[in-house]
């Protein structure tokens, strides 16, 4: 079995000698009362306060205590996802556009994200401990080089030309789990007889 130093046995992966496989990863992170990182605890507290404040617009009496009850009674309360997300933006900016928790073999977070989605999983206006939100981070496009065990070997998409030309590139890895998934996938055909390489960045 072919091996690469530092990465272990390689399993099935796309064949980039004839085609380029470009993927975008997504990571769904749940934040609740049990979250431990400082930025997570602060985001939890601020999104809960914002939820309670915005919920008054739909129900000033407070009789509808949960997020689900609000949405059932007032379908327009689905807008709370977007309204509450505004207080999360500042915390996400502090991440330096790097997806948290997804680390390489050196234990370093390195995958850049360019978009995110925010969702209120559940909340209760009188029970802070029931507040739960999810943030889905969407990575920039990357080249998928190979798979080994539970990890993907990937590289920046702008290195495709170098890779197909036989030049050295600098790949890295990411561990796949139930919270990490391939959001988009695109195969880019490549003809060896052609002298140009598809411009993936256009």
For all residues of the chain together, what is the average pLDDT? 87
DSSP state of 86: T
Residue 194 token pair = 């052609």
Is pLDDT above 70 for 16?
no
Query: What is the mean predicted confidence (pLDDT) over 99-110?
Result: 94
Residue 114 token pair = 């360019």
Return the closest-CA partner of residue 34 out of 44, 23, 24.
44
Domain positions in the chain are 8-189
Query: What is the mean predicted confidence (pLDDT) over 165-185?
Result: 93
Q: How confident is the model at residue 198 (pLDDT cuts 50, 70, 90)?
A: very low
Residue 53 token pair = 């404040």
Contacts of 173 (CB under 8 A, 6+ apart): 7, 104, 105, 151, 152, 153, 154
Which pLDDT belongs to residue 166? 85
pTM of the model: 0.84
Return the closest-CA partner of residue 48 out of 36, 40, 57, 60.
40
Contact 88, 47 (CB under 8 A): yes
């Amino acid at each position: 079995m072919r091996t690469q130093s530092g990465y272990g046995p390689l399993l099935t992966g796309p064949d980039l000698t004839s085609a380029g496989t470009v993927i975008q990863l997504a990571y769904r992170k749940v934040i609740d009362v049990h979250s431990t990182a400082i930025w997570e605890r602060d985001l939890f507290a601020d999104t809960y306060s914002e939820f309670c404040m915005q919920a008054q617009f739909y129900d000033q009496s407070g009789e509808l205590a949960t997020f689900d009850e609000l949405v059932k009674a007032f379908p327009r309360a689905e807008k709370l996802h977007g309204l509450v997300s505004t207080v999360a933006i500042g915390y996400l900016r502090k991440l330096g556009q790097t997806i948290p928790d997804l680390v390489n073999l050196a234990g370093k977070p390195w995958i850049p994200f360019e978009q995110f989605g925010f969702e209120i999983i559940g909340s209760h206006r009188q029970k802070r401990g029931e507040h739960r939100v999810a943030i889905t981070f969407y990575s920039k496009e990357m080249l998928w080089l190979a798979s080994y065990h539970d990890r993907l070997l990937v590289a920046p998409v702008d290195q495709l030309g170098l890779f197909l030309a036989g030049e050295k590139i600098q790949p890295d890895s990411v561990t796949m789990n139930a919270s990490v998934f391939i959001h988009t996938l695109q195969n880019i055909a490549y003809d060896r007889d052609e002298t140009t390489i598809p411009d993936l960045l256009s």
